[in-house]
Structure 1
Amino acid sequence: MAEAHTPKLKLHHGSSAMAISQDEPVLDLPTTMSYPALTIRAHPKTDLWRKPPHTDIDNAPIFLISAPIDLHRFHSARVTVSGAWNTLYDQGGLALFIPDEDIKKWVKTGIEYVWGKPFVGTVATSRWSDWSLVPLPESANGKVTIQVERETKGDERVESLWIYIINEETGEKLGIREITWWFRHDIVGGETSEAPRSLLIGVYGARPTVPEGAGREKEELAVKLEGFEVKLFED
Structure 2
Amino acid sequence: MQWHNPPAVWQNRGDQLWVKTGLKTDFWRTTHYGFIRDSGHCYYREVLGNFQARICFSGQYQELYDQAGLMVRVSKTHWLKCGIEYVDGIQYASTVVTRDRSDWSVAPLVGQPDRVWFEVRRRNEAIAVLYSLDGEKFVLSRLTDFPEEPTVWVGPVCASPEREGFEVTFESFTVELSSAPVLNIV
TM over 0.5: yes
Q: What letter matches 1:81 in structure 2? A: F
Quick one: which of 168, 186, 203 aligns to 2:156?
Answer: 203
Root-mean-square deviation over aligned CA pairs: 2.1
Deviation, 1:185, is 2.5
Aligned structure 1 segments of 4 or more residues deviating by more than 2 angstroms: 166-169
Work out the number of aligned pairs and report it: 171
Name the residue aligned to 2:175: 230
Alpha-carbon distance in 2 for matches of 1:233, 1:85: 33
Name the residue aligned to 2:130: 164
**Where do residues 55-134 of structure 1 align in structure 2 (5 Å cutoff)?**
55-65=35-45, 68-70=46-48, 72=49, 74-99=50-75, 104-134=77-107
Scaled by the length of structure 1, the TM-score of the pair is 0.67
Scaled by the length of structure 2, the TM-score of the pair is 0.83
Quick one: which of 135, 138, 156 aligns to 1:173?
Answer: 138
Alpha-carbon distance in 2 for matches of 1:233, 1:116: 37
Rg larger in structure: 1
Identity fraction in percent: 29
Q: Which has the larger strand fraction? A: 2
Q: Which has the larger helix fraction? A: 1
**Where do residues 209-220 of structure 1 align in structure 2 (5 Å cutoff)?**
209-210=162-163, 219-220=164-165
Uncovered stretches (5+) of structure 1, i.e. residues with no partner: 1-8, 15-34, 151-156, 187-196, 211-218
Q: What letter matches 1:173 in structure 2? A: F
